[in-house]
Amino acid sequence: MSDTTTNTAEKLTTSDGKPLKASLAKALRRQKMRALLLIAPLLLFVLISFAAPIVDMLFRSVQNEIVPETLPRTVTVLESWDESSGEIPSDVVFSALRDDLVIAAERKRHTRLGSRLNYEMTGMSSLFRKTGRRVDDFGEIFTEQFENLNEAWVEPATWVSLMASEDWVAAQSKWAAAGDDAVPQPAFVLSEAAKQALPRTADIYSGFADVIRTEDGDSPTQEEPWNPVYAALYDDLIENPDAASSYSGAMAELLLTAAEAVPSFEALTAREEFIDADEDWGSLAVWQTLDRYSGRYTDGYYLAALDAQRTADGIEMVPEGQRIYLLLFMRTLILSVVITCSCLLLGYPVAFLLSHLPLRSANLLMILVLLPFWTSLLVRTSAWKVLLQQQGVINDMLVFIGLVSDDGRLALINNATGTVIAMTHILLPFMILPLYSVMKTISPTYVRAAKSLGATDWTAFWRIYFRSLCRGSARVLFWSSSCRSATTSRPNLSAVPPVSSSRTGSPTTSRVP
Amino acid sequence: MAQLPPYMTTPQRVWYYGFRVICGLIFFFLIFPIMVIIPLSFNATDFFTFTPEMLAFDPAGYSFKHYHDFFTNPDWQQALRNSVMIAPAATLLATSFGTLAAIGLSQSHVPYRGAIMAILISPMIVPLIISAAGMYFFYSRIGIQGTYWGVVLAHAVLGTPFVIITVTATLVGFDQSLERAAASLGANPVTTFFKVQMPLILPGVISGALFAFITSFDEVVVVLFVGSASQKTLPWQMFTGLREQISPTILAVASILVTLSVILLTVLELMRRRSEKQRGLTPG
- In this predicted structure, which of A72-76, A392-396, B12-16, B218-222 has the lowest mean pLDDT? A392-396
pLDDT score recorded for residue A497? 34
User: Is B57 a member of any domain?
Assistant: no
User: Is A6 a member of any domain?
Assistant: no
Nearest CB to B111: which of A32, A374, A381? Answer: A32
User: By CA distance, what is A354's nearest residue in B?
Assistant: B23
pLDDT score recorded for residue A485? 41
Helices A52-60 & B128-141 angle (0-180, nearest 10): 90
User: Is A435 a member of any domain?
Assistant: yes
If you average pLDDT over residues B262-284, what whole number do you get? 72
Contact A378 B29 (CB under 8 A): no
The region that residue B240 occupies, defined by phi over 0 for left and psi between -120 and 50 for alpha, beta otherwise, is alpha
User: Is B262 a member of any domain?
Assistant: yes
Say yes or no: B282 contacts chain A, CB-CB below 8 A: no
Best of A37, A60, A376 to disrupt the B interface by mutation (most B CBs within 10 Å)?
A: A376
**Closest CA of chain B from A354, distance in Å:** 10
Same domain, A394 and A341: yes
pLDDT score recorded for residue A178? 80
- Which residues make beta-bridge pairs with A190? A164
Q: What is the pLDDT of residues B199-257, one digit of tens each?
A: 888 888 988 998 899 889 888 889 999 998 888 999 898 888 877 766 778 888 888 88
pLDDT score recorded for residue B21? 93
> What band does B93 get if pLDDT is binned at 50, 70 and 90?
very high
Contact A39 B110 (CB under 8 A): yes
User: By CA distance, what is B250's nearest residue in A?
Assistant: A382
Q: What is the pLDDT of residues A206-257, one digit of tens each?
A: 888 888 888 877 888 888 888 888 888 888 888 887 777 777 766 777 888 8
User: CA B185 → CA A16, B182, B191, B197, distances in Å?
Assistant: 22, 5, 11, 15
Radius of gyration, alpha carbons of chain A: 37
The closest alpha carbon to A25, from A46, A1, A4, A2, belongs to A1
User: By CA distance, what is A42's nearest residue in B?
Assistant: B97
**Closest CA of chain B from A44, distance in Å:** 10
Would you tell me which residues 210-239 of chain B have a C-beta closer than 8 angstroms to some C-beta of chain A?
214, 217-218, 220-221, 235, 238-239
The whole-angstrom separation of Cα B227 and Cα B155 is: 11
pLDDT score recorded for residue B280? 63
Same domain, A505 and A357: yes
The whole-angstrom separation of Cα B150 and Cα B138 is: 11
User: By CA distance, what is A34's nearest residue in B?
Assistant: B104
If you average pLDDT over residues A32-56, what whole number do you get? 92
Say yes or no: B156 contacts chain A, CB-CB below 8 A: yes
> What band does A55 get if pLDDT is binned at 50, 70 and 90?
very high
pLDDT averaged over chain A? 80
User: Is A1 a member of any domain?
Assistant: no
Nearest CB to B242: which of A60, A385, A500? Answer: A385
Say yes or no: B284 contacts chain A, CB-CB below 8 A: yes
CB A470 within 8 A of CB B112: no
User: Is B267 a member of any domain?
Assistant: yes
Same domain, A353 and A492: yes
DSSP A460: I
Nearest CB to B105: which of A39, A383, A489? Answer: A39
CATH number of the domain encompassing residue A448: 1.10.3720.10
User: Is B272 a member of any domain?
Assistant: yes
User: By CA distance, what is B234's nearest residue in A?
Assistant: A378
User: Is A121 a member of any domain?
Assistant: yes
Which residues of chain A neighbour B127 with C-beta distances below 8 Å?
Answer: 484-485, 487-489, 500
Same domain, A346 and A485: yes
Which residues of chain A neighbour B265 with C-beta distances below 8 Å?
Answer: 367, 370-371, 374
**DSSP letters along A69-125, please?**
HHSHHHHHHHTT--GGGSS---HHHHHHHHHHHHHHHHTT-HHHHHHHHHTTSTTHH
Of A60, A77, A95, the residue that ends a domain is A60
User: Is A2 a member of any domain?
Assistant: no
The whole-angstrom separation of Cα A338 and Cα A345 is: 10
If you average pLDDT over residues A42-46, what whole number do you get? 93
User: By CA distance, what is B136's nearest residue in A?
Assistant: A53
Sign of torsion, CA A186 A192 A195 A201? negative
Contact A35 B37 (CB under 8 A): no
- In this predicted structure, which of A120-129, A389-398, B96-105 has the lowest mean pLDDT? A389-398
CATH number of the domain encompassing residue B108: 1.10.3720.10
Nearest CB to B239: which of A56, A378, A428? Answer: A378
The whole-angstrom separation of Cα A175 and Cα A287 is: 44
Which residues of chain A neighbour B192 with C-beta distances below 8 Å?
Answer: none
Q: How far is CA B87 from the centre of its chain?
A: 11
Best of B121, B145, B247, B261 to disrupt the A interface by mutation (most A CBs within 10 Å)?
A: B261
Q: What is the pLDDT of residues A421-437, one digit of tens each?
A: 888 998 888 888 888 87
Which residues of chain B neighbour A387 with C-beta distances below 8 Å?
Answer: 33, 36
Total domain count for chain A? Answer: 4
pLDDT score recorded for residue B279? 65
Same domain, A110 and A221: no
User: Is B219 a member of any domain?
Assistant: yes
Contact B265 A32 (CB under 8 A): no
Radius of gyration, alpha carbons of chain B: 24
Total domain count for chain B? Answer: 1
Nearest CB to B128: which of A32, A39, A489? Answer: A489
Same domain, A160 and A50: no
Same domain, A112 and A160: no
pLDDT score recorded for residue A512? 29
Q: What is the pLDDT of residues A152-183, one digit of tens each?
A: 888 888 888 888 888 888 888 888 888 777 77
Say yes or no: B135 contacts chain A, CB-CB below 8 A: yes
DSSP A262: G
User: By CA distance, what is B96's nearest residue in A?
Assistant: A42
Contact B49 A393 (CB under 8 A): yes
Q: How many CB pairs under 8 A join A and B?
A: 226
User: CA A341 → CA A317, A335, B32, B44, B152, distances in Å?
Assistant: 33, 10, 21, 40, 36
* Gap between the terminal Cα atoms of chain A: 57
pLDDT score recorded for residue B219? 87
- Domain encompassing residue B157: 75-278
Nearest CB to A353: which of B23, B29, B239? Answer: B23
Contact B120 A38 (CB under 8 A): no
Best of A379, A414, A430, A435 to disrupt the B interface by mutation (most B CBs within 10 Å)?
A: A379
pLDDT score recorded for residue A8? 52
Same domain, A449 and A347: yes
- Domain encompassing residue A367: 326-511
CB B211 within 8 A of CB B143: no
User: Is B21 a member of any domain?
Assistant: no
> What band does A489 get if pLDDT is binned at 50, 70 and 90?
very low
- Cβ neighbors of A108 (< 8 A, separation 6 or more) are none
- Cβ neighbors of A414 (< 8 A, separation 6 or more) are A494, A495, A496
**DSSP letters along chain B, please?**
-PPPPTT--HHHHHHHHHHHHHHHHHHHHHHHHHHHHHHHTTBSSS-SS--HHHHTT-GGGB-SHHHHHHHH-HHHHHHHHHHHHHHHHHHHHHHHHHHHHHHHHTSS--TTHHHHHHHHHHHHHS-HHHHHHHHHHHHHHTT-TTSHHHHHHHHHHHHHHHHHHHHHHHHHT--THHHHHHHHTT--HHHHIIIIIHHHHHHHHHHHHHHHHHHHHT--HHHHHH--GGG--HHHHHHHHHHTS--THHHHHHHHHHHHHHHHHHHHHHHHHHHHHHTTPPP-
Contact A378 B220 (CB under 8 A): yes
Q: What is the pLDDT of residues B11-54, one digit of tens each?
A: 888 988 999 999 999 999 999 988 888 888 888 877 777 777 77
| Residue A446 CA neighbour count, 13 Å, CB half | 16
Contact A36 B22 (CB under 8 A): no
User: By CA distance, what is B123's nearest residue in A?
Assistant: A50
pLDDT score recorded for residue B92? 96
User: Could you give phi then psi for residue A9, rounded to 5 degrees?
Assistant: -65, -35
pLDDT score recorded for residue A1? 43
Same domain, A229 and A255: yes
Best of B55, B129, B233 to disrupt the A interface by mutation (most A CBs within 10 Å)?
A: B129
The whole-angstrom separation of Cα A238 and Cα A245 is: 13
User: Is A35 a member of any domain?
Assistant: yes
Same domain, A259 and A296: no
User: Is B284 a member of any domain?
Assistant: no
Same domain, A275 and A377: no
Same domain, A107 and A92: yes
The closest alpha carbon to B79, from B238, B245, B257, B243, belongs to B238
- In this predicted structure, which of A8-17, A31-40, A230-239, B205-214 has the lowest mean pLDDT? A8-17
User: Is B119 a member of any domain?
Assistant: yes
> What band does B3 get if pLDDT is binned at 50, 70 and 90?
low
Q: What is the pLDDT of residues B98-142, one digit of tens each?
A: 999 999 998 888 888 889 999 999 998 888 888 999 999 999 999
Best of B19, B47, B96, B157 to disrupt the A interface by mutation (most A CBs within 10 Å)?
A: B157
